[in-house]
Structure 1
Amino acid sequence: MKPNRTELATVLKRARERIRPEEVGLPAGLNRRVPGLRREEIAMLAGISVDYVVRLEQGRGPHPSEQVMGSLARALRLDDDERDHLFSLAGVARPQAGRISLHVKPSVLRLIDRFADLPAMVVSAKGDILAWNAMSAALHGDWSRIPLERRNRMRLRFLPDPRDPARTPVGGSPDELEATVRQGVASLRTASGRYPDDPGLQRLLADLLASSAEFRELWETTPARCPRTHRKTLVHPSLGPVTLDCDTLHLPDDDQMLIVYSAAPDTPEAEALALLRVIGTQRLEPTASP
């Protein structure tokens, strides 16, 4: 399909201008010269470069990919019809039946925003980090700094890249670590059964099987299993080890998972979450050894 660059530029600009900063967890400020969000802010939320956004809004640049348009649709909080229209203007095939959904409904985005004191994020059936709130960024590290094509839990776990920004590592006992990793592999096996023809899942599995001996061994020995509630320990750079309840809520319409981290009231973990809200997003850079 041939893109309609002029109309695409108009739709992108209008969608950006209608979003209020506070809707996406950004400060409104007093000196904004443009309505809605700035191009820099949409680029950050979508995980693409500012230059790319500028070129799209000017009706030029390369042919957009399905992945980039999907990320822009999420950042702009488009509903399904608006997303499909955006894809058509970009000359990109709309999501097909039998493919993993990478679009998060605006209602779900509003929901995770309401978890003001709990880390929450939305994950696709194959482990892509699709959306997150400010508390998730504070707990795990700023997801927007991770390149879009690498923003997948299995890819980050088994195929590390030294260029990736530092993130909060998973800690805990060896048994807890193994259970966490196996749960991720089990979820991926479940997805492979549901979506055998999804090209993104096929690429992910091919990369994991070709480049990670640890993943190959787990893939051979781990049965399919749906995600379940468990406890997870994360070693935060400022708070130290924090063990939290990790509840996974299934979003059946798009076969996505809403993951929420919480702690029982009046516990050290609850106090840590309260402090995390004050600390905010950390630059999780490794410290030099003394």
Structure 2
Amino acid sequence: MQKQELGAFLRSRRERLAPGDVGLPSGPRRRTPGLRREEVAVLAQISTEYYVRLEQGRAPRPSAPVLAGIAAALRLTAAESDHLHVLAGTAPVRTGRHRRDVRPSILALLERLPQTAGFVVSAAFEVLAWNDLAAALLDDFAHGERNLARKAFLDPDPRLYGVSDVAEFRHHVVTELRASLARYPSDPAVTGLVEELRDGSAEFARLWERHDVQAASMLTKTFRHPVVGDITVDCDTLALTDRDQHLVLYTAPPGSPDAEALALLAVLGTSFRPLGTGGHRG
């Protein structure tokens, strides 16, 4: 049970709700945003004292029915409810380190995908494997920064994630890292990355304090490429659950100008880059 994180998460979810959101009268002007603790306790059918102790990080582990009542009272989404259970210690937690080795079948798949930029990312947003088109479209991972979270928040010129969705991608990174930290609370690679980003980026620190655990799906992405110009691609992310990794695929509709641009990049490869070569594994 991660008591302090659980308390902070409950506070953040309570403070985002207005009385009208849960069918309560607004009443007199409130000094602080959100529901009162006693209102959440009534809605969850638990004692106010126990709920206050939960937010203060002083309560014993809540039962599954209590967590279900709190999730319903706070109008949590499915992802937020799952996160609540992880923080409370009632869901499986990976106590070791996240995996960085990619299945050979996935490596082979990356090479066989036609007109598709594909890469695999770890639970800590490290690019673990990629194909030539991904290197040509995104970055030369063999020689540059391979952690997308660092690229998003610490790189002064984060070209990797394109020009159309900077804010959305950063929000996605924060929500995914928060979930990873809950799953791997003792992994120094995850905890160290979060601390590095909190210290090095005011924007990351601001988003981190929101305690969001679910970002909007990114269905398309636009890249401003230095050679072929703007390319808009469809984004598909497939979960590789056995290793807690994700396979990210960028494609374009056949016959579209974006598909033609991808085809041109497939021919050019990374030959136009100063360092000259792409890579597949680190």
**Tell me, what secondary structure is at the counterpart of 1:209?**
helix
State how far apart, in whole Å, the 2-side matches of 1:260 and 1:248 are. Answer: 6
Instruction: Give the distance between the partners of 2:273 and 2:210, measured in 1 at CA.
Output: 34
TM-score by length of 1: 0.58
What is residue 200 of structure 1 aligned with on the other side? 189
AA aligned opposite 1:182: H
For the 8 Å contact 1:121–1:259, the answer to whether it is kept is yes
Q: Which residue of 2 aligns with 1:79?
A: none
Q: Does 1:135 align with 2:133?
A: yes
Residue aligning to 2:255: 266
In structure 1, what is the equivalent of residue 235 of structure 2? 246
Q: Distance in 2 between matches of 1:283 and 1:277?
A: 12
Q: Which residue of 2 is the match for residue 171 of structure 1? A: 163
What is the aligned partner in structure 1 of residue 152 from structure 2?
157
What does residue 110 of structure 1 align with? Answer: 108
Shift of 1:108: 1.1
Q: Following TM superposition, by how much is the alpha carbon of 1:222 offset from its aligned partner in structure 2, in angstroms?
A: 5.2
Query: Contact 2:221/2:233 (CA < 8 Å) preserved in 1?
Result: yes
- Matched ranges for 1:1-290 at <5 A: 98-146=96-144, 150-160=145-155, 168=160, 170-172=162-164, 176-221=165-210, 223-225=212-214, 228-284=217-273
Following TM superposition, where does structure 1 have runs of at least 4 consecutive aligned residues deviating by more than 2 angstroms?
166-169, 225-229, 282-285
**Deviation of residue 98 (structure 1)?**
2.9
Which residue does 1:60 correspond to in 2? none
Contact 1:235 1:241 in 2 (8 A): yes
Higher Cα radius of gyration: 2
CA deviation vs aligned residue, 1:41-97 (integer Å, no higher than 9, x gap): xxxxxxxxxxxxxxxxxxxxxxxxxxxxxxxxxxxxxxxxxxxxxxxxxxxxxxx95
Output the CA distance in 1 between the equivalents of 2:237 and 2:243. 15
- Answer whether contact 1:229 1:246 (CA < 8 A) is retained: yes
**Once the 2 structures are TM-superposed, how far is the Cα of residue 228 of structure 1 from its aligned partner?**
3.7
Letter in 1 for 2:103: K
User: Residue 158 of structure 1 aligns to which amino acid in structure 2?
Assistant: F
| CA separation of 1:100 and 1:226: change in aligned 2, threshold 3 A | farther
Provide the C-alpha distance between the structure 2 equivalents of 1:114 and 1:190, rounded to a whole number of angstroms: 31
CA shift in 2, pair 1:168/1:161, >3 Å:
closer
Q: Structure 2 vs 1, CA of residues 142 and 121 (structure 1 numbering), >3 Å: closer, same or farther? A: same
Asked if the contact 2:161–2:169 (Cα under 8 Å) also holds between the matched residues in 1, the reply is no
Q: Provide the alpha-carbon RMSD of the alignment.
A: 2.2
Q: Which amino acid aligns with 2:194?
A: L
**Aligned partner of residue 195 in structure 2, secondary structure:** helix
| Letter in structure 1 aligned against 2:126 | D
Shift of 1:180: 1.9
Asked if the contact 2:237–2:249 (Cα under 8 Å) also holds between the matched residues in 1, the reply is yes
Amino acid in the other structure paired with 1:170: G
The TM-score normalised by the length of structure 2 is: 0.59
What residue identity is the alignment partner of 1:255?
D
Which structure 1 segments of 5+ residues have no match?
1-95, 286-290
Give a deviation string over 1:246-290, Cα, whole Å, max 9, x none.
Answer: 1110001001000000011221111111111111115556xxxxx
Q: Percent identity?
A: 40
SS in structure 1 opposite 2:120?
strand
Structure-2 residue corresponding to 1:10: none
- Do 2:151 and 2:160's aligned partners in 1 also have CA atoms closer than 8 Å? no
The SS at the match of 1:135 is: helix
Partner AA of 2:116 in structure 1: L
Which stretches in structure 2 are left out of the alignment for 5+ residues?
A: 1-93, 275-282
